[in-house]
Amino acid sequence: MMRLARKIPRACGFTLLELLVVVVILGMLAALGFSGAQAALRKGGATECVSNMRQIASAVQLYAVENNGNLPDIQHGGRISWTNALGDFLGPQFIGRCPSLKNYPLAIDVTYAWNDMLADPATARGIPLTKIARPSSTLLIAEKQASLGDFDHFHFRGALGARGRMSIVQFEREVNTKAHGASANFLFADGHVESLGSVQLQSRLSLSNPPFLVP
């Protein structure tokens, strides 16, 4: 009887230690599930962003075919922005905002900006695609910082200056290199998209007149 009487209360309840272990395990499972869901969300945004860029790449090709092989213009001195010039080729389904940049002001219709080195500095007209010596190395569009507002292009020409060099700090003043966690998406002139982080960008910018920016 004595043994049974001692056993019953133990069988009916959990000890404090057992409860604590359960709470800790549940907490860990919840944290794992949450970070998993967050990673999936980020990845989802990055996938849509890559798809946005691929659509822009196709539109650029179609535009060039109809415009003597030239790239679209950038918005300067009354020139029509590439964002409008490509409109006919992108179609009404196109969404120009990267889904990962939800905190950007709604006034920013397009969260991507153009490499200004691909436009004539005097006229803002797009250069011919054939003038790009290494299309698989040269940037066409990247994700812009919210501070760039509705600007349609970056200002690499001024930053590169006569020395033809730019630091990652200068680059990141206009380019959002952390749009997707530790990296961002970059569309190249040959139409391929790459996800690059700061270290990879730094090495591409380390050259004088880097082919990454200079056609």
Q: Which residues bind Zn ion (CB under 5 A)?
A: 49, 98, 100, 143, 179
In the bound state with Zn ion, the residue whose beta carbon lies nearer, of 140 and 179, is 179
Tokens 């990454």 belong to 212
Whole-number Å distance between alpha carbons of 192 and 214: 17
Q: Which is nearer to Zn ion, 49 or 139 (CB)?
A: 49
- In the chain, the largest separation of any two C-alpha atoms, in whole Å, equals 101
Enter the tokens of residue 133: 């010596």
CA dihedral for 101, 102, 105, 109, sign (positive or negative): positive
Quick one: DSSP state of residue 181? T
**Region of residue 129 (left: phi > 0; alpha: psi -120 to 50; beta: else):** alpha
Pick 49 or 56: Cβ nearer Zn ion:
49
Nearest distance from C-beta of residue 117 to Zn ion, angstroms: 21
State in angstroms the smallest separation of the CB of 24 from Zn ion: 37
Compare residues 82 and 186 and give the one whose CB is closer to Zn ion: 186
Instruction: Choose between 118 and 184: whose C-beta lies nearer to Zn ion.
Output: 184
**To the nearest whole angstrom, how small is the minimum distance from the Cβ of residue 98 to Zn ion?**
3
Q: Are 118 and 71 in contact (CB under 8 A)?
A: yes
Q: What's the closest the beta carbon of residue 101 comes to Zn ion, in angstroms?
A: 6
Start-to-end C-alpha separation, the chain: 92
Residue 98 bridge partners (DSSP): none
Q: How far is the CB of 204 from Zn ion (least distance, A)?
A: 18
